[in-house]
Structure 1
Amino acid sequence: MTQQDVGVDEIAAAAEHGRICALAADCQRDLQKCAARYPDLFAAAPFDPRFFSTVSLANAFGSPWLPADRLRIANRASLWVSGADWMVDYLATSREEIQAIVRGCLAVADGAPADTPLAQFLADLRDDLRDDPGSAPAFGVLEPVWREELERYLSAEAREWDWKAASARPDADEYLENSDNYGTSLVNVWHWIFTSSPGSLAHLDELRAASRKVGHVLRLLNDLASAERDREWGDINILTLGLSRADVTARIAALMKECRTLIGPLKDVCHQEAVYLERQLGFSTGFYGITDYWGEL
C-alpha cells in the first residue's frame, strides 16, 4: 500500500482502533489489579501479561462505546471463568474436588460465606453487581438468571471433566451443546445486567438464546486455534471427535448464519446488545485466526 492509498477513511478507522486499544489498556490495569487480590488463584503462568491484554482487548472491541469502568464486570467475569477453568481442567485430580468447586460456588451464589479464593472472587463479583447504583435494580430482578448462568457454566465444566476422566469422547453435537463451559453466555449475561437498560433487558431471553449460539461459534474457533495446545494439555478438542478442519470450518459457517438469524431482529429492540454479539463474533474470528488467550505453562 502506498502513501497515496491511505485516505481519510483509513485514518479515521485507525484512529478508532487506537481509541479502543487505549480503552483496553485502561481495562487491563483494572484486571491485573483485580487478579492481584487473588494470588493463589492466578499464577503467573498461564496468567501472563499477554493473557490480561487479550481479555481486555476482546471486551473493549465488543463494547467500544462504554468507558473502562463499565467494562469491568465483563473483564472480571472473563477472568473468573478462566480461573474456574484452570482449577477444573488442570488442578483438580478427583471428582470430589470438582463437586467441591461446584458446591462451593453455588453456595456462595445462594448467600453462604466463601471458603476458597475462587468462591471469594465470585462473591465479590456478585456484590459489585448488587451494590453498583447502575446495575443494582436490574440485578435485584435478574439475580435468578445470574445464578442460572453460573450453574449452567459449572455443570458444563464438570461434564467435560467427567469425559476426560473416563477417557470418553462425546460425539461432536454433544460436545458443542456443552459449550456453556466456554463461558460466553455467562460473561455476556452478567455484562448486560451490569450495563443495559431495562428496555433491553426485557428481551434477555432472546439475547441469551443468541448468545448461546454465539458461544458455539467461539467454542469452535477456539478449538481450531488451540488444537496443538489442547493436545499437549490433554484437553478435548472438536478435532479429536471425528471432524476435520474443513468440517469444522463448514460448521462455523452454518452457525454464523444461525447467529445472524437470531441477532438480526434484536437490533430493532436492543440494538447495542445485538451489535455487541456481532462484534464478539467478528473479533473472535480475527483473533483466533492467529492465536488464543492462554500463556505458557
Structure 2
Amino acid sequence: MMIEELDDPTGAGGLEKGSWDIDRMCTALDPLAIADAAAMSISIAQELETWVRSTALPVRQEQIMPAAILAAFIAPWLPSDQCSLFAQAILWTALIDVFVDDLKSESDRAVEACLQDCRSVISIKNADPTHSLSLALSTIHERFLNQPAGPSLYSFFQSATDSFLSGQSFERRAARALTGGAELPTIQEYLKQGARSIGMHFVTAVLWSTIESADASPAATSLGDALDDAALAVRLANDLAGHDRETVEGSVNALALGLQPDHVAHLLSQCAHRCVEKLNNFPPAGHLLTLALERQLLCYLRIYQRIDASH
C-alpha cells in the first residue's frame, strides 16, 4: 500500500482527533490474516507481561496490548520470538517517553540519570543497569545481537538508541523552559530533535535486525534519508494528535512553538510522500527492509489520524 492510498493521511488541515468516516473505512481485509495477527497479538502480549515482570517496568496493563498489536500487524511475517522483540522495542520507547514527560513526579536529575544509565547499556561492555528502564533496554540489547542482522546493524542500533535518548533529554529541557518561562528552542531545532525523540530510528533498527539480509548494513545506510523523513512525519502526526493533552501537561511540540495546524499537516504530508518515494526507488534487494519501514509509517500515521495514542 502506498501513501496515496490512505484516505487523507494527514487529515486535511490537521489530524482530527476521533474522526472516522465510515464510508472510507478499509474493508479489504483478509479475515484469515486478521485472525493470524490477532492471535499473534495475544501471544505477544503474554510474552510482554512476563518481560515486564522480570524487569519491574513501570507499566500499566493497558499499555501492553497496543505494543503487541502494533508489532503483530506491522510485521506479520515475523515468528513469535522476533515479533516479541519488536514489541518490546515499541513498548520501551513509549515508557521512556512517559517517564521523561512526567515533570511532576520525576526530578530532572533522576530522569537524566536513567537516560545516562541507558546509554551505558549500549556503550559499555558488561554494564550493570540500575534502573528498570535501563534493565529492560539491556534485555533488548542482548536479543538484538542474536538476530540475523543484529551484528551487522549494531553500529546503527547504537546510534539510533543514543539519538533517541538525546532527543528525550532535549524534550525534557524544552518542557522545563516552556513551563518556567525560559527561552524556547527554535522550531528548526525542535524538528531535528523531535524526529529523534519519537523513537522511529530505534524501533526500526530492532525490526530490521530480524531480517536476514546479506547487505543489511549498507541497505540501512542507504535508507537513512527515508527513515529520517518517516520519523519526522510521525513526530508531526504525534504533535497534531496530542496537542491538547500536551498543552495541559506542559510538553513542547511544533504547535506550542508557533506552527499552525495547516502548516504542520503540510510538512507531515511532504515528509511522508518523500519517504515513500525513496522507498519505491530503492533496489529490490532491500525489499523487506523498505516494506518494514513503509508499514510502520502508514500504521503510525493512520493511528495518529484517529487517536492520541502516545499516553
TM score, norm. by length of structure 2 = 0.81
| Matches of 2:152 and 2:308, distance apart in 1 | 35
Aligned partner of 2:30 in structure 1 is: 13
Q: Which of 93, 96, 107 is matched with 1:93 structurally? A: 107
Give the deviation of 1:207 after TM superposition. 2.5
CA contact (8 A) 1:193 1:201 kept: no
CA contact (8 A) 1:189 1:208 kept: no
| Matches of 1:59 and 1:80, distance apart in 2 | 13
| Matches of 1:11 and 1:164, distance apart in 2 | 42
Aligned partner of 1:212 in structure 2 is: 228
Give the deviation of 1:69 after TM superposition. 1.8
CA contact (8 A) 2:118 2:137 kept: yes
Give the deviation of 1:182 after TM superposition. 0.8
| Matches of 1:203 and 1:113, distance apart in 2 | 33
- Partner-residue secondary structure (3-state), 2:76: coil
Q: 1:292 to 1:145 in 2, by over 3 A?
A: same
Divergent runs of 4+, >6 A: none
Q: 1:15 to 1:142 in 2, by over 3 A?
A: closer
Q: Which of 243, 255, 262 is matched with 1:239 structurally? A: 255
| Matches of 1:264 and 1:228, distance apart in 2 | 35
Q: Give the letter for the 1:125 counterpart.
A: I
Say which is worse superposed, 147-156 or 14-23, in terms of deviation: 14-23
Aligned partner of 1:70 in structure 2 is: 82
More helix by share: 1
Give the deviation of 1:154 after TM superposition. 0.9
Q: Which of 148, 152, 159 is matched with 1:148 structurally? A: 159
- CA displacement, residues 129-171 of structure 1 (integer Å, 9 cap, x when unaligned): 23x3x43xx4334323221111111111111111122224333
Aligned partner of 2:11 in structure 1 is: none
- Partner-residue secondary structure (3-state), 1:195: coil
Q: Give the letter for the 1:14 counterpart.
A: P
- CA displacement, residues 108-144 of structure 1 (integer Å, 9 cap, x when unaligned): 22122112212211111112223x3x43xx4334323
Map 1:146-295 → 2, pairs under 5 A: 146-167=157-178, 168-178=183-193, 179-266=195-282, 268-295=284-311
Q: Give the letter for the 1:224 counterpart.
A: L
Q: Give the letter for the 1:140 counterpart.
A: P
Give the deviation of 1:99 after TM superposition. 3.3
Q: Give the letter for the 1:103 counterpart.
A: Q
Matched, 1:128 2:139: no
TM score, norm. by length of structure 1 = 0.85
Higher relative contact order (CA 8 A, sep 6+): 2
Q: 1:15 to 1:149 in 2, by over 3 A?
A: same
CA contact (8 A) 1:55 1:293 kept: no
Structure 2's unaligned 5+ residue stretches are: 1-25
- CA displacement, residues 67-94 of structure 1 (integer Å, 9 cap, x when unaligned): 2222122111112212222222214322
Give the deviation of 1:29 after TM superposition. 1.8
Matched, 1:29 2:43: no
Matched, 1:81 2:105: no
Say which is worse superposed, 70-79 or 11-20, in terms of deviation: 11-20
- Partner-residue secondary structure (3-state), 1:198: coil
After superposition, the CA RMSD in angstroms is 2.2
Aligned partner of 2:150 in structure 1 is: 139
| Matches of 1:225 and 1:177, distance apart in 2 | 19
Q: Give the letter for the 1:120 counterpart.
A: L
